[in-house]
Structure 1
Amino acid sequence: MTTSRTATATTTRTTTAIGYESNLPASDPAALVAREVDVPELGPHDLLVEVEAVSVNPVDVKVRAGAPANGFRVLGFDAAGVVRAVGPAVTLFAQGDEVFYAGSIDRPGTNQRLHPVDERIVGRKPRTLMFAEAAALPLTAITAWESLFDRLGLTADSTGTLLVVGATGGVGSAMLQLVEALLPHVTVIATASDDERSDWVRDLGAEHVIDQRGDLVAQVLDIAPRGVEWLFTAHSEGQVETYAQIVAPFGHVVAIDDGPRDVSPLKGRSIAWHWELMFTRPLQQTPDMVEQHRLLTTIADLVDAGRLRTTATTTLTPISAATLREAHMLVESGRTVGKVVVHGW
């Protein structure tokens, strides 16, 4: 990959962005609107990316529905595109590089033609994927990776059983593939709600599938009588008592939703509770922020080697306020499998 230590200027002063002005239902035509916004001065480590594709995540829906717009807030986290300019301290990328990334919640979102992003949370786009296919991966892959390896501390030598609650969502779909590719001794139990979703998670590597609408305790303990060593959950609210029965003593739970505030039922079995927020590194400007660049590069390598695949299942076009509203409604329905992607202008 080529590198540059010289700032590259752009003559473009404004760009088209899509966001919201007030908290409205996605079905309202005014829920998302397009505006021309200023292209900001690039920071030392910033890239200016021409966005080719984005995906819509539950966090987009949550922010649009409840976070203050402060006049106009641009949504979007996942993106794939081409670097058009770089800041003066950039060393990882150069103009013309194809990239993918998930951005940060404290900066304007990716739903705009030109988007500034810190190079340390950006990876090279997988060469074997189109932009739309690549845009499905960053946020969910980062979340899954950090959950498995940073929060749960799993390694290639780890042996035991992992329960994935919410396995048919974007993060679950990425996690199943990472376990299949990198954790050969970990057995996966995945939750699903119907035959289509059961087939999806089995195809991604789950050894066992249980009905998320049924008795979770009975189903899990039938497979793992002593309980599971690790539990990932995208839906933890109201479930702590259940988790206390199905996680083995000294086991671990990692949650990505807002979840419970009282996890005391886990104390009797010395079960550890972990929170995972993939925005922590960029939000806190942690010293190891570049780890997100490194893990995305590994994800790209795994994709190009045929060991991971895109989780894009619904692709819409073009990137517009109307199309993004449609994507928000699909995600809000809770019926999607995999990721919803929007591409092209």
Structure 2
Amino acid sequence: MKAIVIEQYGGKEQLTEKEVPTPAPGDDQILIEIYATSINPIDWKLREGYLKEMLRFEFPIILGWDTAGIVKEVGSKDSNFKVGDKVFSRPATTNRGTYAEYVVADESLVAKMPDNLDFGEAASVPLTGLTAWQCLFDFGEIKEGDKVLIHAGAGGVGTMAIQLAKNAGAYVATTASVKNIEFLKSIGADEVVNYKTTDFEDVLQDYDFVLDALGGEIQKKSFNVLKEGGRLASIVSRPDEETADEKGVKAGFVWLEPNGEQLGQLGKLIEQGQVKTHVGHTFDFSEEGLRKAHEISESHHAKGKIVINIKR
């Protein structure tokens, strides 16, 4: 099968096309023929070598951990899926990712694809949707009436988190540039702070939860908008424990755990129209396409998700 791989850590020029063996599913696994995948920051962070101590993968590495496609083969007779089913998944984090024509995924990490999405839209959901879900509900335990701040609202996780928080009955504030203000209000944000002209800690206070997607100084300032007993979840870096203790808040780093059941719940919200996908960029499955996609993701200025169409 065709795959885009890296043979060593480095810049986007390391992304090269290669023929590799098509994987075979084991027990409780399924083989997915990939129609689309999407780009996430973990892709280029691993490519650059930033995560090599955490994820000790052997080369060649196939990056990518979002997929939407069709079940090609099932590894168990009593599988909940059958050949031909349309599915989406955030497969386990291995060195055999989704920049490829096929991927094997544990059945427990796969869900039925929402009927109202095409493959590209479906591929934009798993990693960002599950990250937002686990930050908001597993860690943050947000509920109706909570005040929630989501940083970088126009990004992949941000757009999902805004909709999920609003659907849960929260008051949602977010940070963004002026060009994205109307867009973010249209998907449920009650308040959008233009980070280029306004310091969010000057205008927001007594919040129950903050989702930090930026780290650094933004993360430090986020403690100041939380009320005592609030929660801060970071998807970038581990928050300072001493500061959390001083402020009387719960703070932690959230590393996504793939989960097919939660993905299925997300899929139902999407089918009901309560959560919508937002694909901002699409590219073909080629060395050039992947390199351009990585460049946009690294800029931190992508609006919505970056999708790679593998099969049409």
Aligned to 2:177: 193
Instruction: Tell me whether 1:336 sits opposite 2:302 in the alignment.
Output: yes
Which region of structure 1 is more displaced relative to structure 2, 34-43 or 125-134? 34-43
Contact 1:90 1:119 in 2 (8 A): no
Larger mean Cα displacement after TM superposition, 108-117 or 238-247: 238-247
Give the superposition deviation at 1:202: 0.8
Amino acid at match of 2:25: L
Counterpart residue number, 2:166: 180
The aligned amino acid for 2:251 is W
Residue range with higher mean Cα deviation, 301-310 or 323-332: 301-310
Are 1:108 and 2:96 an aligned pair?
yes
Deviation track 1:254-296 (CA, whole Å, cap 9, x = no partner) reads 1111244x331221231001221113xx5xxxxxxxxx22221
Note if contact 1:44-1:90 (Cα within 8 Å) is conserved in structure 2.
no
Q: Does 1:119 align with 2:107?
A: yes
Amino acid at match of 1:232: L
Q: 1:78 touches 1:135 (CA, 8 Å); kept in 2?
A: yes
Do structure 1's residue 235 and structure 2's residue 205 form an aligned pair? Answer: no
Aligned counterpart for 2:6 among listed residues 11, 20, 26: 20
Q: Give the residue type in structure 2 aligned to 1:122.
A: V
Q: 1:169 aligns with which of 146, 155, 158?
A: 155
Number of the residue aligned with 1:220: 204
Q: Is the 8 A contact 2:209 2:231 kept in 1?
A: yes
- Aligned partner of residue 297 in structure 1, secondary structure: helix
Are the counterparts in 2 of residues 137 and 311 from structure 1 also a CA contact under 8 Å? Answer: no
The CA distance in 2 between the partners of 1:81 and 1:229, in whole Å, is 38
Quickly say closer, same or farther: Cα 1:90–1:166, change in 2 above 3 A: farther
Which of these residues, 308, 311, 316, is aligned with residue 275 of structure 2? 308
| Residue 299 (1) aligns with residue 266 (2) | yes
Structure 1 distance, partners of 2:135, 2:219, is 18
Give the equivalent residue in structure 2 for 1:323: 289
**Residues 335/266 of structure 1: CA separation in 2 closer, same or farther (3 Å cut):** same
> In the aligned structure 1, how far is the partner of 2:113 from the partner of 2:210?
30
CA distance in 2 between counterparts of 1:89 and 1:209 reads: 51
Q: 1:122 to 1:247 in 2, by over 3 A?
A: same
Unmatched 5+ residue regions in structure 1?
1-14, 222-226, 283-291
Instruction: Give the C-alpha shift of residue 107 in structure 1.
Output: 4.4
Q: Deviations over 1:72-117 (max 9, x none)?
A: 1001111100000011265221111101112122341011111101
Partner residue, 2:232: 253
Partner of residue 247, structure 2? 269
TM-score (norm 2): 0.92
In the alignment, is the contact (CA less than 8 A) between 2:23 and 2:102 conserved in 1? no
Distance between the aligned counterparts of 1:233 and 1:316, measured in 2?
28
Instruction: State how far apart, in whole Å, the 1-side matches of 2:219 and 2:104 are.
Output: 40
Determine if contact 2:135/2:254 at 8 Å carries over to the other structure. Answer: yes
In structure 1, C-alpha distance between the alignment counterparts of 2:21 and 2:271, rounded to whole Å = 36
Structure 1 residue 45 displacement after superposition: 1.3
Q: Aligned match of 2:187 in 204, 226, 250? A: 204
| Letter of the 2:194 counterpart | D
The answer as to whether partners of 2:282 and 2:307 remain within 8 angstroms in 1 is yes
| Distance (Å, rounded) in 1 between the aligned partners of 2:133 and 2:223 | 24
Identity across matched positions, percent: 29
Q: Secondary structure at the match of 1:322?
A: helix
Runs (5+) with no aligned partner, structure 2: none
* Counterpart amino acid of residue 94 in structure 1: K
Write the distance in 1 (CA, Å) between the matches of 2:78 and 2:48: 35
TM-score of the superposition, structure 1-length normalised? Answer: 0.84
Pick one of 145, 153, 162 that aligns with 1:159.
145
Q: State the 1:240 CA deviation.
A: 4.6
Aligned-residue CA RMSD (Å)? 1.7
Give 2:39's match in structure 1, choosing from 53, 56, 66.
Answer: 56
Kindly indicate whether the alpha-carbon contact (under 8 Å) linking 2:23 and 2:103 is maintained by their aligned counterparts in 1.
Answer: no
Say if 2:57 is the partner of 1:88: no
